[in-house]
Structure 1
Amino acid sequence: MFKFLLTFLPLLSGSALAASSGETAGLLLGLFWVVLAATLCGALASRLGMPAVVGQVLAGLLIGPGALGLVQADDFLLSLAELGAVFLLFMVGLETRFRDLLAVGKEAVLVALLGIILPLGLGLGFGLWQNLGTVSALFVGTALVATSVGITAKVLQELGVMDARFAQVILGAAVIDDILGLTLLAVVSGLGTGQSMGAAQVGLILGLSLGFVALVLTVGLPLIRRFESRLRSLSVSRMFNVAVVTGLGVAALSTVAGLAPIIGAFLAGMVLAEVKDELEFESKVQALEAFLAPIFFVVVGLQVDLSVLTSAAVVLAGGALTLLAVAGKVLGGLLGARSLGQEALLVGTGMVPRGEVGLIVASLGLAAGIIEGPVYAQVLLMVLLTTVLAPLALRVLVRRTAVGSVS
C-alpha cells in the first residue's frame, strides 16, 4: 500500500497536473499540498510539544523534491511565502509598541552588533581553514550573520511572550541585524563580482536603510495619532483594508531602500499598534496571517535540497559550521543582553535560526560563483539545523525560565 502511494502521489503533483489540466489547476493543487502539509504537520508538532513552525518546515522537506516530490518551490509559492512572511512580521509589529523597543534599545544594539561581528569572524575563520579564498570565506561568514526573525517571532507568538523584555530585545536586535546584514551582503556580493566597494558606497547603502526606518517612525507615529479620530469612524472591514494597504505599501517601500520587505511590514505594524486598542481590526489581520504564514515556513523546507547532504565530509563540515553559527549568536546574546540575567540566553537562542534568510544568502553565493557546491551544501545544512533545532531549544528555555521565576 505504501509503495502504491509513493507511485501514485507524484502523479497528483502540481507539475504533473499543470501539464494535463492547465497551469491554474497545477498551481492550486500545489497550494493544496502545502496548506494540507502545514496543517497536519503543524498540528502534529504541537501535539508532541514542539513549535508548530518546526512541523511546518519539516512538512516542506517531506512534500518537496527530496522526498515525496509533490511540490516544487516555484515562483507562485515563493511569492505567497514572501507574502506570508510580510504578514507575519506585520502581525508581530502590531503586538510591539515603539516605546517598548526604545526601552531595550541599548541591549538590542549590542546584541545585533555582537551577533554580526562574532558569527562573521567565526565563519571567515572557518572558510580560511578550509583553504577558501578570502571573498568566499567572507561569504561563509555573511551566511552565518543572517537571522530569520520570522521563525523566532512565530515561536514567541505561540508561547505568548511577545510582551516580555527579552522578546523585545530579540525583535529590536533582529531589525538592526537585518539592516546591517543586508549592507554586508551587498558589499560581499560586490566584491565577489569584482566591483570595488568604497567607504562612500557602503555608507550610502547603510544610510538609505537607516534613513528609511527613521522616516517611517518619525512620520508614521505622529500621523497615525493625528488621524486616529477619523479612523474610528471606519467600519471594521474598511479599517482592515486600511491596515493591509499600509502594511503592503510600507513593505514595498522598504525594498526601495534596500531592506527586506518584512522590515517595512514590521515597522508598519508597529505604527498601527498605537491605535489597535481603539480600532477592532487586529483579529482580521491575524486570520490572514494564520493562513499565509504557514505557507512561508513550508516553502522554507521546500527550498532545502536534501541531495547535497549525502556526503559524509559535507555533513561533518556542515555540523562544525552549525556549532560555530550557534556559538556566535548565543555568545552575542549572552554578552549583549547580560543585563537581563538568565534571559540573556533566551535572546541569544532567539537569534540563532537562519531560515529563509540563510537560504537566500547561500543561493546568491552559489549563483554568483562566490562559493562552490560543497561549501553551499555545508551552509545549507547549517541553515536547516539552526532552523529546526533553535525553535525547539527556545521553547524549552522559555518554559524553564518561567518555572524558575515562579519558584
Structure 2
Amino acid sequence: MHGAGHILEVFYLLLAAQLMAYLFRRLGQPVVIGEVLAGILVGPALLGWVHEGEILEFLAELGAIFLLFMVGLETRLRDILAVGKEAFLVAVLGVAFPFVGGYLFGLQIGFQTLPSLFLGTALVATSVGITARVLQELGVLSRPYARIILGAAVIDDVLGLIVLAVVNGVAKTGAVEFGAILQLILLSLAFVGVAVALAPLFARLPLDRLPVGSPVGFALAFGVGMAALAATIGLAPIVGAFLGGMLLAELREKYKLEEPIFAIEGFLAPIFFAMVGVRLELAALVQPATLVAGAVVSVIAILGKVLGGFLGALTQGYRAATVVGVGMAPRGEVGLIVAALGLAAGAVNEEEYAIVLFMVVATTLFAPLALKPLIAWAERARRVGGD
C-alpha cells in the first residue's frame, strides 16, 4: 500500500478511537474499551478499512512505549520501593497460580504435556498497558495499589520471560537450557538493578546544560532508548520505557516534561489500543469448542491473577488488594506471542491458539470494566478512613 493509504488507515483508527472514546466517556465507562472496539469496527472483522501491517504495528508499539513512559514519569522510584515487598509477592503469586491452573486445565481437557505448558505460560504475563491507561484516566497513579501494580508488572515481565524461555527451550530441544536461562535472568536483573541504582543521579541531572537540543528532546530519546535496550535484552520494551520515565520523574516539573510527552502519548496510545481490536479474529472466537474452553481458561486466568494480587497486597487492605488483583488480570499481546511461538514450534494447534486468543480478549475487556467501580469502592473507603 502506498503512503497515502497508510495515512488514511491511521486517520480511520484515530477518528474511530476518538469517537468511541467520547461515547464511552459519556456512558461512564473506561475509554480504553471504546478504543479497542474502535479497532474491531474499522478492522477486518467488520468494515475492513484497516488491516495489520508493519507501519501500523510499529506505531502501535510506539503507543505502548509512550504510554508506559508517561506512566513512569508520574511514578517516583521511592514510591515503588516503598511497596516493593508487596509488588514482589503479587508478581510471584500472580505467575504461579495462572501457570499451574492453565497447565492442569490443559491436561484435563486432553492436551498433551507441551501444549498444556504453553497454555499455562500464555496465562503468566500481565499486559500492564490496559491497566495503566485506566489508572491514568482515573488519576490514581499515586495510590499505593497503583504503585504495587506497576512494580509487580516489571517483576512479572521478568518472571514471565523466564517461564517462556524454559517452555520454549523444551519445545525446541526437548531439554531445559540452563545456561541461556541463567544469562537471561542475570541480564534482566542487571537492567532493572542498574536503573534503580542510577535513579539518585538522574534526579540531579542538569538537562538544560547537556549538549542536546532541549530537555524534552533528551527525555524522548532516553525513553525510546531504554525501551530499545529492554527489547535487546529480551524484556518487553514497555518495561524499559517505564523505567526510563521513572528515572526522569524527579525532573518532570523542573523541565516541564509532562505536557509535551503527554501530547505524543495522546496521539499514539489510541493507535495501540485500536490495533488490539484490529488484530482480533472474531471468526475464530465463535466456534462452540473455543467458546467453552476459552471461557474456562479466561476464568482461570482472571482468578489466578486476582488471587495472587489479593494475597500479595493484603497488607494494603482488602479493597486495595482486590484492585491490585484485577489490575494484574489483562494479558494482551504477551499471551498471543506465547501462543504464536507454540504454533511455530508445532506444540500448539489452531484450536489451542484460538483458546488463548479468546482468553486475551476476555481479560483485556474484563479488567477496565471491573477496575473503574473497584477503584471507586477503594477510594470511598480511603476518604472515610476505612479499609
Query: What is the TM-score when the length of structure 1 is the normalising length?
Result: 0.91
Give the conservation status (yes or no) of the 8 Å contact 2:208–2:214.
no
Alpha-carbon deviations, 1:59-109, whole Å to 9, x = none? 111111111111111111110000010000100100100100100000000
> Which residue of 46, 66, 78 maps to 1:67?
46
1:366 corresponds to which residue? Answer: 343
Q: From 246, 249, 255, give the equivalent of 1:270.
A: 246
2:257 counterpart residue number? 281
Alignment-derived partner of residue 164 in structure 1: 143
Q: Any residues of structure 2 matched to 1:377-392 within 5 Å, and which?
A: 377-392=354-369
Q: Distance in 1 between matches of 2:130 and 2:222?
A: 23
Q: Distance in 2 between matches of 1:227 and 1:164?
A: 27
RMSD, aligned CA: 1.6
Which whole-Å CA distance do the structure 1 matches of 2:215 and 2:234 have between them? Answer: 29
- Structure 1, unmatched stretches of 5+, are 1-17
CA distance in 2: counterparts of 1:40 and 1:172, whole angstroms? 33
Q: d(CA) in 2 for partners of 1:244 and 1:65?
A: 33
The CA distance in 2 between the partners of 1:96 and 1:273, in whole Å, is: 6
The structure 2 residue matched to 1:223, chosen from 201, 208, 219, is 201
Kindly name which structure, 1 or 2, has the bigger radius of gyration based on alpha carbons. 1
* Equivalent in the alignment of 1:292: 268
Return the alpha-carbon distance in structure 2 between the equivalents of residues 130 and 312 of structure 1. 15
User: 1:406 is matched by which residue type in structure 2?
Assistant: R
Correspondence for 2:86 among 94, 97, 107: 107
Asked if the contact 2:32–2:133 (Cα under 8 Å) also holds between the matched residues in 1, the reply is: yes
Q: Which residue of 1 aligns with 2:152?
A: 173
How does 1:278-357 map onto structure 2 within 5 Å? 278-341=254-317, 342-357=319-334
In 2, Cα distance between the equivalents of 1:209 and 1:195?
25
Secondary structure of 1:49's match? coil
Distance across 2 between alignment mates of 1:312 and 1:278: 57
Q: Which residue of structure 2 lines up, in the alignment, with residue 247 of structure 1?
A: 223
Q: Specify which of 261, 264, 270 is matched with residue 237 of structure 2.
A: 261
Alignment correspondent of 1:92:
71
Query: Is the counterpart of residue 396 in structure 1 residue 373 in structure 2?
Result: yes
TM-fit CA distance, 1:206: 1.1
Whole-angstrom distance in 2 between the partners of 1:222 and 1:389: 38
Q: Is the 8 A contact 1:142 1:181 kept in 2?
A: yes
Give 1:3's aligned residue: none
CA contact (8 A) 2:169 2:177 kept: no
Aligned length: 383
Question: Which of 175, 187, 194 is matched with 1:208 structurally?
Answer: 187
Which residue matches 1:9?
none
Q: Which amino acid aligns with 1:262?
A: I
Gaps of 5+ in 2: none
- Cα distance in 2 for partners of 1:123, 1:163 equals 33
Distance in 1 separating the partners of 2:77 and 2:354:
39
CA distance in 2, matches of 1:244, 1:69: 34
| Contact 2:99–2:124, Cα closer than 8 Å, also in 1 | yes
Q: Is the 8 A contact 1:147 1:352 kept in 2?
A: yes
- Pair 1:33 & 2:33 matched: no
Same amino acid, percent of matched pairs: 51
Deviates most, 82-91 or 191-200: 191-200
Question: Hey, what's the Cα distance between the residues in 2 that align with 1:57 and 1:360?
Answer: 19
From 109, 112, 117, the equivalent of 1:133 is 112
Q: Separation in 2 of the partners of 1:238 and 1:107?
A: 38
One-letter code of the match for 1:164? R
Could you tell me how far 1:367 is from its partner in structure 2? Answer: 2.7
1:301–1:76: structure 2 CA closer, same or farther, 3 Å change rule?
Answer: same
- SS of residue in 1 equivalent to 2:255: coil
SS of 1:65 mapped into structure 2: coil
Amino acid at match of 2:140: V
How many angstroms does 1:195 deviate by? 5.1
1:366 Cα shift? 2.1
Q: Distance in 1 between matches of 2:58 and 2:109?
A: 36
Q: Shift of residue 235 of structure 1? A: 12
Residues 265-293 of structure 1: CA deviation (Å, up to 9, x unaligned): 11110000021121112100000001001
**AA aligned opposite 1:392:** L
Scaled by the length of structure 2, what TM-score is found? 0.95
TM-aligned CA deviation for residue 236 of structure 1: 11
How far apart are residue 253 of structure 1 and its match?
1.0
Do the aligned partners of 2:24 and 2:34 also contact (CA within 8 Å) in 1?
Answer: yes
**Contact 1:104-1:168 at 8 Å conserved across structures:** yes
Q: The residue matched to 1:361 in structure 2 has which SS?
A: helix
1:50 aligns with 2:14: no
